[in-house]
Amino acid sequence: MQDFKHLRKLIKKNYLNNINKSRKPFIIYKTNKGFDLFTDFSKKIILNNQNIRQFLKQRNSSKRKYQSTDLYIGFFGYELLNNLIGVKIRRQKSINFPKGIFYKPETKINFKENLIYNLKSNQKIDRNFKININQKSYKKIFDKFKKKIRSGLTYQIKICTKYKNKSQIDPIDFFCRLTKSNLAPEAFMIKDKNYSIISCSPENLINKKGSSISTKPIAGTLRKTKKINKKKALNFFKNNIKETKEHNMIVDMERNDLSRICIPGSVKLKKEKSVEEYKDLYHYVSLISGKLKDKVENIDIIKAMMPGGSVIGCPKISTLNLLNNQEKENRNIYTGSFGFIKFNGDMRFNIIIRSILNYKNTSEISVASGVVIDSNAKHEFNENFIKAKALIDLYK
C-alpha cells in the first residue's frame, strides 16, 4: 500500500514536470480536497464587451449525464465586468491584456497531496518592484476620497496600488512555493503561451449549487505578529470601530446583491464575523447564503454579484464611478473573478486579489485597502504592502 502511494506521488510529480515542459496551457484550482488540474483545452474563448452576453446566455442540454470536464473555466477582468453592468471606464494606460478568457478542458486530474515540482527552469528574476503610487501620491488620493465620503457620495472606497517589475518566471514553480507558504482557499494558477496568473486569493464570491447560492465577504485585515493569535485577532476586530464599520457595510451590500436574485426572505447570514489566518495576516470574514428565484440565469447572477463589493467599496455603482474617474491604469485581472461555470448551471467564482499577472515578461501585483471616514492614510498605504508581501517574497 505504501509503495502504491509513493508511485502515485511520483507519477503526479512527473506529470507536473512533463506538462510544464510540453508548453501546453493548463489551469490549477484549489479544492476542498486538494487541487484540480485542467488541460487539453478544446476551446479557448477570448471575451470582449461584444461577446460576453452571448457567452453567459448559452445553454447546454440537461438530458445527459455530466462529466467532470463539462464546464468552462477562466476569468472575467475588471473592465469587462464594469461594462456588463453599464459602468464606464475612461481611457486608461493599458498593456492590452485580454478582458477575459475561458477554456473548455478535456482532461481533469485531481491532486490530493501537496503539489510537488522540482524542474529546473530558466527564470530571470528582478527582485526590485516599482510602485505606481508612492505614499505622497497615495495621501492625495486618500484625502480626495475622504471628502467624497464626507459629502455622502461613498461610504467606503478601495484605493488600488500596483507593484511591477520585469521578470521571466516559471509560474508553476511560483505557485507550488506559494501554496506551501501561503495556501488560500481560492488559490489558482493559469499558464498559457503568452501569460500566466498565480493567485492566493482568499475570497469566494459565488458558490452556486442548484438553487442554493452563497458568498463569503472579507473585510478587515490585521498584520500577524508573535503576540497575536486568532482569538486576539477576533477581539481586535470586534473592538475596532473602523474595522467593524467596514465589515458591516460590505456584508450589508453583498446581502443586498444576493437579495436581487434570491427568493425574498431566503438570504441569511450563515456565519458572522469569524477570523481566517494566513501567512502574514488575519482576515475578518462572514458567510451569506440564499435560494435563487426561478428563471434566474447565469448572466443575472454575474451582473448582481460582480465586481465583488468587498474589493470595491460601498455603495457599489457610485464608488465604481469614483474609482474609474481617478485611476490612470487598467486593473486588468485585479478585482475581476476567476472560476468555472458547469454545463448544468452550477458555478464557483472567487475575487481575483493577491495575484500576479505575468504578461510579456512583466509581473504586476495589484492590491487595495479600504478607506472609511475613520481611516488613516499611512495605515492604509502600509496595509497594501502587507497584502502584497507574500507574492513579492516569491521573487527573493
Taking only the tens of pLDDT, the chain with its 396 residues reads 344 344 455 456 678 888 888 889 999 999 988 899 999 999 999 999 999 999 998 766 555 778 899 999 999 999 999 999 999 998 888 899 999 999 999 999 988 777 767 766 778 888 899 999 999 999 999 999 999 999 999 988 989 999 999 999 999 999 988 888 888 889 999 999 999 999 999 889 999 999 999 999 887 778 888 888 888 888 888 888 878 887 888 889 899 999 999 999 999 988 878 888 877 788 888 899 999 999 999 999 999 999 998 888 889 999 999 999 999 999 999 999 999 999 999 999 999 999 999 999 999 999 988 788 888 999 899 988 888 988 999 998
pTM for this predicted structure: 0.91
Of the candidates 204, 179, 178, which has an alpha carbon nearest to the alpha carbon of residue 35? 179
CB atoms within 10 A of CB 291: 17
What is the pLDDT at residue 313? 83
Q: Which residues contact 303 (CB under 8 A, 6 or more apart)?
A: 84, 85
Q: Which residues pair with 138 in a beta bridge?
A: none
Residue 246 has, within 13 A of its CA and on its CB side, a CA count of 29
First CA to last CA distance, the chain: 39
What is the per-residue pLDDT for 197?
A: 98
**In the chain, how many domains are there?**
1
| H-only helix segments in 219-327 | 230-239, 241-259, 298-305, 316-326
pLDDT single digits (tens) 24-42 = 999 999 998 889 999 999 9
Parent domain of 86: 2-395
How far apart (Å, rounded) are the C-alpha atoms in residues 163 and 115? 27
Which residues fall within 8 angstroms of residue 105, CB to CB, at 6 or more apart?
A: 27, 38, 39, 40, 41, 42, 69, 71, 73
Residue 87, domain CATH: 3.60.120.10
Predicted local distance difference test score (pLDDT) of residue 359: 96
> What pLDDT was estimated at residue 223?
81
User: Which H helix or E strand runs over 75?
Assistant: strand 71-76
Kindly report the backbone phi and psi dihedral angles of residue 69, in degrees, each rounded to the nearest multiple of 5, phi listed first.
Answer: -100, 5
Residue whose C-alpha cell is 481611457: 91
